[in-house]
Amino acid sequence: MDKDNDLLKEMGHKLSQLRQNQKDTISQMADRLGVWRNTYVRNENGETPLSYKAMIAMVDCYGVSLDWLVVNKGPMYYKEKVLKNEPPLNPDFKELIEHMERIPMLKHEMLLSFCKFKEDRKDLVEAAMKNT
């Protein structure tokens, strides 16, 4: 699917952005994420998804916000997000996010559903975003 490729390309672009922001080489980034250099190159090129283990390493090593990485919400770094004192999440949303962090396929399916919803209900989404 094109949406799958779009999601992979977007995540790859973010990996490149983070690596350049940190002034790391590809080898350094791969080492820190605990993946082979070739695997990381495929991740950054948007050819393969980043593993759950590598995402957690990004949080641990760099303080990256998974909201930014996965759903393009908020700042790149978790520290910046915490400083904003955002209101607590609805318990249902919190549960969904926790499940998505542990089940990569759920995260992928939710992102695809969201993209389809935006495409199918473009007028509704645009009207709602104008009201914010």
pTM summary value? 0.58
pLDDT of residue 27: 96
CATH of the domain at 70: 1.10.260.40
Q: What is the pLDDT of residue 83?
A: 46
Q: At 76, phi and psi to the nearest 5?
A: -65, -40
Q: Which domain holds residue 26?
A: 2-130
What per-residue confidence (pLDDT) applies to 85? 53
**Count of structural domains within the chain:** 1
Stretches in the chain below the pLDDT threshold 70: 1, 4, 80-89, 132
pLDDT, residue 41, reads: 97
68-to-1, 8, 11, 38, 80 alpha-carbon distances in Å: 23, 14, 10, 24, 11
